[in-house]
Amino acid sequence: MSKRNRKVAAIVTVAAAAVFAGPAHAQEEIRLGSIATLEGPFASGGQDGHRGITLALEEVNYEINGKKIVWTAESSNAQADVALARARKLIEQDQVDIIVGPLSGAEGIALRDYSRTLTGKTIVNGSSAASDTTLRDPSPNFFRFSTEGAQWMAGLGNYVFQEMGVEHVAVIANDYAFPYAQVFGFMVDYCRAGGKVTKLWSPLGTTDYSSVITRIPRDAGALLVIKGGTDALAFLTQYAQTGGELPIIGGSIMADQTLMSARGPHQRLMEGMISAGPIADIHDDPMWQEWVERYRERFPDGLQSPSIHGFNYYTNTKAILLALQEVGGDLSDNQQKFQQALANLEFKNPMGATVKLDENRQAISDIFFTRIVKTDDGLRTESFGRADGVDQRLGLSPEEFEKLGSPSRDNPSCPPVS
């Protein structure tokens, strides 16, 4: 063998060893990637998402059936293109088996589309909650064990029209997929009950709302504010500053610890605020109390009470771990057994609500009505009602639901007659 040939042979041997060592290595460990927003308007939500993942992983001690779980965390900034780039990095470079994420609506749709192009990989939602992610054109590799924006609003429209007696609501919402879903969920009931809605959209990241506030119609009886984080704080502060006094109904990410623990004049507007969503800070289910206790103990510098994002990331990670346990960490055969286990999973989330999936791999679960109350530790949401087993079609038949069309800026619509 010439010197040159020997060199080639050595390289081939090393390469072959690397190729064969690859799968053997992969069987010993399960690689989990995560995408949460640690930058931009939902940075604190993403941080809490991480806490949720951590809690779930620590329950199983980062191990399933003797296989170690290796967690690679990635961050995005709530923009779909960034989330997509990070997901690609996780799959191609870090070679993860499963991704849990993302956090925000449009990101979810982007990752759903990406998941369709993959074989033998699974994406399980983090906390993103746009309807269309699973409702229209679902991907076989995308699972969501958290409920979405339209489900979260189920029943609230009827409550506002009948119990609060408000006949005209001004919607103040950000202009992207998740608020469309929430507005849709609210308006399906509210418009049918006879209510009128004026919609005021603004781009995500708007911090000067003076012109929006000017456009609130005089005869509106309440505001439905579907914003979170910085946007919500800016709007409420400026609304308080102009002396605004209409009752406020909050979207599901508004009545969140992120906003309630920040000091300022917006707190005056928030007390008594009605909302609906998958969690409530004060909720008398022992499972919830135990979970909150554990959260606080583990994260002394975390939020006073876990946020919706922490809860959703926990629930989704928990589902991954339960399915992995069922198949003993077996991800072979393009993850078929694992995905089957995910699809058939039925378990209780920390609120004590049963979670199971529909045929599009979307969660069916319970939704809670909440009210903001003042406690010794500051503002908290308290549950006062519950809608059981809310599915993505909000209880309508597929045909009826199909007729409503896809949530968008202009759909549904029931404007006041001027």
Partner 1 sequence: MTFEMFVTVMMNGLTLGALYFIVASGFSLIFGLMRTVNMAHGTLYLIGAYLGYSVYDLTENWYYAIAAGMTAAAVFGAIMQVTLLGWMQGQELRQALVTIGLSIIVADQLLAHYGGLSLQFFPPDALFGATAFPIIERYPTFRLFQIGAAVAVGVALWLILNRTKLGLMIRAGVDDREMLAAMGVRVSLVAVVVFALGAALAGLGGVIGGSAQPFSQGTDVRFLLTSLVVVIVGGMGSIGGTAIGAIIVGMAEQWGQALFPTYSVIVTFVIMAAVLAVRPQGIMGRPS
Q: Give the residues lining the site for partner 1 (CB under 8 A).
A: 38-41, 43-44, 46-47, 77, 175, 200-203, 205-208, 210-212, 214-215, 229-230, 233-234, 237-238, 241-243, 258, 261-265, 409
Q: Which of 314, 399, 345, 362 is nearest to 131 (CA)?
A: 362
Smallest gap from Cβ 171 to partner 1, in A, equals 12
Q: Which of 103, 127, 124, 106 is nearest to 115 (CA)?
A: 124
Residue closer to partner 1 (CB basis): 38 or 276: 38
Residue type, 72: T
- CB distance 212 to 227 below 8 Å: no
Smallest gap from Cβ 215 to partner 1, in A, equals 7
Residue closer to partner 1 (CB basis): 60 or 212: 212
CA 416/CA 319 separation, integer angstroms: 44
Residue closer to partner 1 (CB basis): 25 or 409: 409
Indicate the pairing of strand 63-64 with strand 67-76: antiparallel
The C-alpha R_g of the chain, in whole angstroms, comes to 23
Residue closer to partner 1 (CB basis): 4 or 263: 263
Residue closer to partner 1 (CB basis): 43 or 345: 43
Residue closer to partner 1 (CB basis): 138 or 229: 229
Longest dimension (CA), the chain: 93
Smallest gap from Cβ 413 to partner 1, in A, equals 15
Smallest gap from Cβ 198 to partner 1, in A, equals 13
What DSSP assignment string belongs to 63-129?
Answer: EETTEEEEEEEEEE-S-HHHHHHHHHIIIIIS--SEEE---SHHHHHHHHHHHHT-SS-EEE--S--
What are the phi and psi torsion angles at 263 (to 5°)?
-75, 160
Smallest gap from Cβ 206 to partner 1, in A, equals 7
Residue closer to partner 1 (CB basis): 54 or 206: 206
Smallest gap from Cβ 127 to partner 1, in A, equals 15
* Angle, CA 251 vertex, CA 237 and CA 40 arms, to 5°: 65
Smallest gap from Cβ 234 to partner 1, in A, equals 5
Smallest gap from Cβ 225 to partner 1, in A, equals 15
CA 42/CA 103 separation, integer angstroms: 8
* Angle, CA 133 vertex, CA 204 and CA 316 arms, to 5°: 95
CA 50/CA 73 separation, integer angstroms: 8
CA 37/CA 111 separation, integer angstroms: 14
Residue closer to partner 1 (CB basis): 59 or 410: 410
- Bond prior to 140 in cis (omega within 30° of 0): no
Residue closer to partner 1 (CB basis): 251 or 329: 251
Smallest gap from Cβ 254 to partner 1, in A, equals 13
Instruction: Please enumerate in sequence order all residues whose Cβ is within 8 A of that of 314, keeping only pairs 6 or more positions apart, or say none.
Output: 52, 53, 55, 56, 291, 306, 350
